[in-house]
Amino acid sequence: MTMDLAPGHDEETRLAALAVLAQQVRELMDAVVLTEADEDEVTSVTAELVALTERLNDARRERPLMPEFAPDGTFRHLGNAVTGACNPHALPLVIEHTPEGSQADLEFRPTHEGPPNSVHGGVSAMILDHLLGHAVATSGRAGMTGTLTIRYRQPVPYGRPVVGTAATTRAEGRKTWADGTISLPDGTPLVEATGLFITPSLWVEAASD
């Protein structure tokens, strides 16, 4: 049977399949950090993974998927380390644009372990960097992180829901400041961040060309 496919349908279907693969790889990574399998089983699984890696590398891109607008007009960056549905490194973070700024429901995974039973501080900083950057971008003043200051108030648990929020606080020329937190659902702050984002002079020049 043949189907009448809309333009781009094949690629969207392929990307959806790739997102499912990326999610399976996240499950695989958790399985690797938690497994108690014996050496023979670990060696056997590794051999299968080598074969799977070679199959994917038979059709390899030069670099991860770029930011773009999806067919429905929404912005997406499927290859991003924080938000990319097709990047197993990403949670992925799904960010909502709220009247106050940016917000995301999060659940960290065993692969994010830093101190025993809690999330690595660098991972929390990475998530806050992105959330702050998103708040800045949605305020119409997109920029690169210049500075990021983090205050770790309480350990962040994994395997439990937490909430990330961010909002811009002030702007001056090409500089925009934003604050954000990772909190428990009851509002208890765990990590606080303040960042300075700078719109690169190159972007300003490119926009005025």
Ligand X SMILES: CCCCCCCC/C=C\CCCCCCCC(=O)SCCNC(=O)CCNC(=O)[C@H](O)C(C)(C)COP(=O)(O)OP(=O)(O)OC[C@H]1O[C@@H](n2cnc3c(N)ncnc32)[C@H](O)[C@@H]1OP(=O)(O)O
Are 158 and 108 within 8 A, CB to CB?
A: yes
In the complex with ligand X, the residue whose CB is nearer, 55 or 170, is: 170
For residues 171 and 150, give the distance between their C-alpha atoms in angstroms, rounded to a whole number: 20
Task: Supply 110's token pair.
Answer: 């065993």
Closest distance to ligand X from the beta carbon of 123 (Å):
14
Q: How many residues bind ligand X (CB under 6 A)?
A: 18
Alpha helix segments (H runs only) across the chain: 9-34, 39-57, 121-138, 201-208
Closest distance to ligand X from the beta carbon of 106 (Å):
16
- Interface residues for ligand X in 80-119 (CB under 6 A)? 97
In the complex with ligand X, the residue whose CB is nearer, 28 or 137, is: 137
Closest distance to ligand X from the beta carbon of 71 (Å):
16
204 to 68, 134, 140, 163: CA distances (angstroms) = 20, 18, 13, 33
Annotate each residue in 127-156 with x if it binds ligand X (CB under 6 A) or - if it does not, as one string. Answer: --xx--xx--xx-----xxxx---------
Q: Which residue is nearest to ligand X (CB)?
A: 133
In the complex with ligand X, the residue whose CB is nearer, 115 or 146, is: 146
DSSP 64: P
Q: What b/e readout covers 93-132, taking b as 16+ CB neighbours within 10 angstroms?
A: bebeeeeebbbbebebbebbeeeeebbbeebbbbbbbbbb
Among 53, 57, 201, 208, binds ligand X (CB under 6 A): 201
Q: List contacts with ligand X (CB under 6 A).
A: 75, 97, 129-130, 133-134, 137-138, 144-147, 174-175, 196, 198, 200-201
